[in-house]
Amino acid sequence: MKQLALLFTCFLFTIAGVFAQDTIVQKNGFKRVCTIESQDSTKFYIKIRSKGQNIRTHINKSDVQRVYIKKTEMIGGRIDLNKGRFNAIRIYSGICSPMNDFASKDINLPKAGLAGSGMNFNAVIELGFNPYFGMEFKGYLNTNEFVTSGLEAEMSTAFGYKVSSDIVYYTNYGLLLGPSVKVPAGKLAFSMHLLLGYSTLSEPETKFFVITGYDDWLIYKKITAVGLATNVGAELIYPLNNNWILTANFDYVHSKYKFGNMTLKYSYGDTQTWDRGEQPYDVLNYSLGVGFRF
pLDDT for residue 69: 67
- What type of residue sits at position 200? T
Tell me the pLDDT of the chain averaged across its residues. 86
DSSP-assigned letter for residue 27: T
pLDDT for residue 18: 37
Summarize pLDDT for 163-175 with one digit per residue, the tens.
999 999 999 999 9
Summarize pLDDT for 213-267 with one digit per residue, the tens.
888 999 999 999 999 999 999 999 988 877 889 999 999 999 999 998 999 999 9
- What type of residue sits at position 44? F
Cα 260–Cα 264–Cα 269 angle in degrees, nearest 5:
135
Residue ranges of the domains in the chain? Answer: 85-293
CATH class for the region spanning 85-293: mainly beta
Q: Please say if the pLDDT value at position 271 is more than 90.
A: yes
Assess contact for 131 and 162: CB atoms under 8 A. no
Assess contact for 15 and 7: CB atoms under 8 A. no
Beta-carbon contacts of 279 under 8 Å, excluding residues fewer than 6 positions away, are 101, 102, 111, 113, 201, 203, 225, 256, 257, 259
Q: Taking residues 277-288, report their average pLDDT.
A: 97
Q: Taking residues 37-52, report their average pLDDT.
A: 85
pLDDT for residue 130: 76
Summarize pLDDT for 55-109 with one digit per residue, the tens.
899 999 999 988 876 655 444 444 455 455 578 899 999 999 999 999 999 999 9
Beta-carbon contacts of 209 under 8 Å, excluding residues fewer than 6 positions away, are 163, 164, 165, 216, 217
pLDDT for residue 38: 80
